[in-house]
Structure 1
Amino acid sequence: MSDILAINGGRPVRDKYLPYGQHWIDEEDIEAVADVLKSDYLTTGPKARELEEKIAEYVGAKYAVVVASGTAALHAACFAAGIKEGDEVITTPITFAASANCVLYQGGIPVFADIDPKTYNIDTNQIEKKITKKTKAIIPVDFTGQAVDLDGILQIAEYYNLIVIEDAAHAIGTEYKGKKIGAISHMTEFSLHPVKHITTGEGGIITTNNGEYQKKLSLFRTHGITRDKELLTNKKEGSWYYEQIELGYNYRITDIQCALGISQLKKIDSFIKKRREIAETYNRYLSQIDGIIIPYQEPYSNSSWHLYIIQIELEKFKAGRKEIFEALKAENIGVNVHYIPVYYHPYYQKLGYKKGLCPNAEKLYERIITLPLFPKMNNKDIEDVVKAIEKVLGYYRK
């Protein structure tokens, strides 16, 4: 391996690009989808109901409602929680924009609370400082897969009569104090996007123990239309009759996708085991490299590790995060950054949000890099990532 950085014309650590995330589809998954294509149902049908039952069982919740995407799941949860125009909802800025956009969809106002600089999750103490008479809900995010301080957040929610919508898009399979998340918060959202732990291609799911929320979520994904006689205003018509009783959306998911999800769910434990092993290996190697801060994990959380994020102690290097990032990419390592603080985006700036709102989040953003992490990675892949980091940081070290 050449000591000259690939970005400067040297030979890269890897010949083939290693992405930061990748799905794993096998023949069993393909056969499951093919079986549905040969069946009588293609759109939402028996496979959707089966996936709901299996996810609910997996996380220990009474109910699950599967929808078209993780974003749709968050939007549906905000609807079920009764978020309306002028309501404030507290969330973290270090997340994908959907965690805040779902509040805007309902006419609400996202309020950003700063993060804990150790865990990168929303700081429970900062949540309470942001509560006003307009606050209706909290959307904490299990960032990278590490569970938030659920007991602390739920205690605040109970005191102020707030609803907790846990954004667990990164965290299916994560355990909080020995119990899988998904039945702890009032509602929990999971993503089934291809880079997540299991996939339906695109998809999302909300779990809850509240039957009223389950009814509202199911209604919302089908235009607000129902055939349920208990909900109909006109109960005299025939079995063909239906009514739109809310303004919902077409957030249905297909049985084709759900068949894939059911097949994937059979392998979730092995996928998570592999993710944890990769994270442990990264920790072992990277903790020996000066200038890197590896992820801190609270003892109450057993993460399912969607992302592995390092902090670069930039004061120890002659280059900024941008130069280090681009140099790693040139070595064919598919690094990424998760995330740009939500309120940095031009749309949020137009709404009046200003930089400086969450100092810990803003400082973190300047220093983080996401490394590849997915079950298909082998030991050589992990070694290549470490070699590339050593090569690049060695070149730029002061």
Structure 2
Amino acid sequence: MIWLGGLIVLLTFAAIIKRYETRMVLFTSGLIMALISGKPLVAIDAFATAMVNPGLVTVICTVMGFAYVMKLTKCDAHLVHLLAGGLTKCRPILIPGTIVITFAINIALPSAAGCAAAVGAIMIPALIGAGVHPALAGSAVLAGTWGSTLSPGATHNPFIAKLANTDVMTVIAVLTPADLAALAVVVVVLTATAYLRKEHNVTMLSDVENKQETESFKVNLIKAIVPVVPLVLLVLGSKQVHVIPEVTVPQAMIFGTILGFVVTLVNAQEITKQFFAGMGDAFGSVVGIIIAAAVFNKGMELIGLTGALIDAMKHSESIAKLAATFGPFIVAVLSGSGDAATLAFNGAITPHAQQFGFGIIQMGQQAQVVGALGRSMSPVAGAAIVCAGLAGVNPVELTKRNGPAMLLAAIVTMVVLM
């Protein structure tokens, strides 16, 4: 049964890499393993339990609702233009600055593809106009689309917090040093790549129309601040800072939504519709993957595969470390999504991290970060396709430039975290 389970898992990730519907693949695989074990109803119970998980559903849905409102009110556009305007005035830091700004915006707006579209629409034409090679301009934006690993609303942070029986901000605090170290690696390596390939100054103002459009945008500072207000509230109310009373993620997001209405005076009915539309989409897409992954993990457990993997890792700390690093990373590169592999790993293996000599937070965050890094160099990721389209290049060109940086960053996080 264990060998059969291993074959099913391999076929599962092969199907995900082939870009079959992730939720369908995970649910079907989990149910098949449960059927083989003779306990299919246990897998269905796991499905039902994951549907009403209060630590995940409320966080993820309210964050997505807030993001939809920020797009409706155009507060996200004001934030991007504010940061981009200052960056384009200082040419030597164009490339590293683009990566850092995209990373920072992705914390406030945790969708990788959404962040790539918002930032890329402004920064990619600006970089090309300033003389940066189009492929490198797209790569710089894509290289920052894993900042969501530090977002309270990212799928994995509340998931890991629940596993570790702690709060989301504590989980983020543990990850921050490793994330910043990895960000520094990405910035240095991609900037060096630009200079080595002589792609930092190859054209002269090739996109005047887009440049003029960017310059004509009038930034409203108050609107630009709104998207980061919930994040600031969560940090100030965290156990580590505790300047204000503790604020939950739903509280922060709803306050940010109300603030967006007060600042922009957009029709309250439209804001309400967009907030709940975002919540619905979050449940169907993001929480849906978590639910399907819960069935998959339960199937692995029932067929005996989880126990076998745990026993194997108990005998070698290095195996557990390498599995947490390169498993989600490779699947993310090939499939364009780090979520499926990361959720499967964190659901099945991370709860037993202490048996391998690691903390639950450390192992869970390692799997999350490397999944995000792998996605940020994948030619089939949604964010990569968006950036490549805006730059007018093949997505594979972005992979060629981001690959070394992301691989080194994954190794750095393994050293720092584990």
Whether these two folds match at TM > 0.5 is no
Return the TM-score normalized by structure 1.
0.29
Return the TM-score normalized by structure 2.
0.28
Higher relative contact order (CA 8 A, sep 6+): 2
Q: Which has the higher helix share?
A: 2
